[in-house]
Structure formats: structure tokens, C-alpha cells
Structure 1
């Protein structure tokens, strides 16, 4: 199997940014897509996960796949983060450009870096004490992302993940997926000016992503401890938390 084919089978969305920089192309419309697909509910999820990140004890946070900065904007609004170091990263320079503009007067509180969450050789082992990633694992090789998160976290460091999940009541989950299958192509086509790849990746990622229980098992398998999750909006998404062991 060649590298491209192998990468395509290692993430839920079968997405490879190096071959299709769709999120760079739709960066200016990405927030509109989120509003349309979630009916605005994503704002509640992001507010909740930002509060959860702020409540954790850390001095240096690395936020992977920052996108247009939704989580970081909410995070810097918390007084408790005023004296902490925040590094916000994304593989898309277009996304980071929008995040930079949105930060405005808070730009000096966040260092933006163009990093691929799957491979971050410039980030030293054990150099951050918190790592967060939101709504991006579904379009990444999550094995590599979680390996990198574990590597860069200091012993005892915290992991916070907001990601697609499953509604435990199967009939409702089926209804939700049917809604997304029916609405996402039309709304995505309108919002992106006909760029079909954007909603194809996102929809595939939602369908194929593990359940909340399944992702929790993966985190444990990567060596994380104190693994827990909290479903949001009945289980459309979940906030996962875990910790890197303090000792090997």
C-alpha cells in the first residue's frame, strides 16, 4: 500500500491535507459551515470545552488544529489564563491567518505556529503541561496525533479533546446521521461555493469516528490514565479528558 492510500485508511474522514488543502480553501467560510451544520450549537460546545481547559492546572498549553481560533478566543476570555502561555497551532496557514485577525488585541497573549498535529518535531518532548484539540481528530490520523500529544506532554500533563461522538439511543443517532446526510451536501455546497470535498470529508468523519467509549479505550491504549468523557447535546459530541502518567 502506498503512503497516500495508507494515510487515507488511518483517519475517520479518509482525509490527507497534503493532497487536498480543502480547509485552506474554505478558511474564510469555515465558521459559517460550523453554524450551518450544527445549527449554531457548536458555540455552546466550544464555550464548554474552553471553560474546561481554563479550569485545568497548566502553565503552558499547546492547542492542536486551532483552525480559525474559536477555542482560543474563548480561552483568553477567562481571567485564569492571563498569566499562562498558550501556543495555538494548525497545519493551515489560511486558518491561522484568520485566527490572528480574530484575536485582535489579544494577539500578544497567544503564539501561533504552523504545525502538523501528526508530526511536530519542533516541539520538544515533555514541553507542555496541557494539550487540547477540538473537532479535528476526525480528519486526522488520530493514532499519530495522540502519539504526539503523549510525547509533548510533561508527566502528569492533561489532555482535553472535543470531538464527534455518538448518541447512545440508536434510533436518535440514526435520525441525526440521516439529517446530516441530507442537509450537509446542500448546506456545504452553498457555504463553500460548490467545493464538495469539504462536506464529504466532514460527513465521512462523523460517520466513521469511534463512539465515546471507543475513543476512551484508544486513549487508554496510548498510555493515558484518568480517562473520562462527558457527552454534550445528547452525544453529538463529547469532551474527553485524560492525563499522562507522572511516572513511566
Structure 2
């Protein structure tokens, strides 16, 4: 039996760990840490720092593995993602079987933010269920949405108002979601807010939300749009990567 635990670790700040997450880290036999390659290796380093800070004593074995690169040549977006997830699941399986005894054990993955929110770790884990006797448990973590609203000291919603959580791709392709007072946008690598009618729209933007490097900008979209674009580009150049999120309200 292999017990797989997906542990939400917040936005990379060790102080975001819940007591439940700390206990889960200490209970594992093996922890697998993905390495996304040159320029993003500090993401793996942050996970190791969290382990060093939270794990007591000798602790579990910690193994880093290289993530495969998603094939962008295929025009079908869903097919690209599915193939990529298949490849990741195969690497998980190889590392689990190489580092656990035949009798099984406990394996943990540190998941940025909350494993349930625009994250495919649970979908990848489901691919392993046919390989062996697996159980999957999930430890929730502080989401980037919570870090965003806390960083700007704003509520997520208007009084009795609806909120839509979406992606940059959806905002760019389909515009402002119908019926939404407030829109939270994640996974936006192209600053899709610049495609909107900016009149009357406020934006609250955070890069590296909740981390020591956090950058927060806000104001009327028509006034701060270019500043956010330029700031994001510079931050990505400085760090080699960026995780950002923003809230729009009109």
C-alpha cells in the first residue's frame, strides 16, 4: 500500500504552513520535489527550505526530480496538457518505486497554494491509482487568493456580490465574465487585463503574493496598466520566474 499525501504549502512562505501540513511532512517516508529547470530552480530550493524548517529530526528521504517540458507544438491545448500530465505521472511512478520498499510507504508532494485551485496535482495523482494500491489524501493550504486579498487588505467580494475565479486565457478569449462584480485572474502570463475595456475598472495586482519578494500595485486599470506590465516583466527578468495574481472590480 502506498499512501500519497498532497500537502498545500501556501505561496512559498514557510509561515503559511498549517499545523496539519507540518505533521504531514514529518509523517512521510519519502518527499518528492519537482525541479522545473534552469531559472526556476529556486522553486525547488524554497520547498527544501520549508522541509528544513518544518521537519524534526532525520525526517523522510527527500528526492528531487526533473519535470518534463510540455510539448507546445500540438495545437490542441487540452491534448498538450493531458500528454504532459501523463509524462509527469510516469516520472512520479519511477521515483516512488525506486525509493520506496516493495511493501510501500508514505509519499508526500509539496503543492504550492491549495491543491484544489487551478492545480493539476490531484489529476496527476489519479493516474497512479491503476498502478498499485494507492490512497490519496489532501492537506489544504493558504491560497494565492487569500494572500492577494490580505496583501491589499481588501475583501474578496462586494456585499452579497458574486465572484468569478478564472484564468488569463479565459479573460483574453472571452472578456469580462457575465454577471460578475469581481473577477480574480490566475495563470496569466500575458497580462490579459490589457485587452479589457478599462473604463471604470479597478485592479489589485500582486507578484510573489505572500512571499518576502511580494510586489503589490493597485488603482484604476487605465492608470496602472502599463506600470503593472513593466513591473511584472522586470520581476520575471530578475528572478527567472514569477507567480502573480490579480483582482478586478468594476
Q: TM-score range by the shorter chain?
A: 0.3 to 0.5
Which structure's CA Rg is the greater one?
A: 2
Greater helix fraction, Structure 1 or Structure 2: 1
TM (norm. structure 2) is 0.38
TM (norm. structure 1) is 0.38
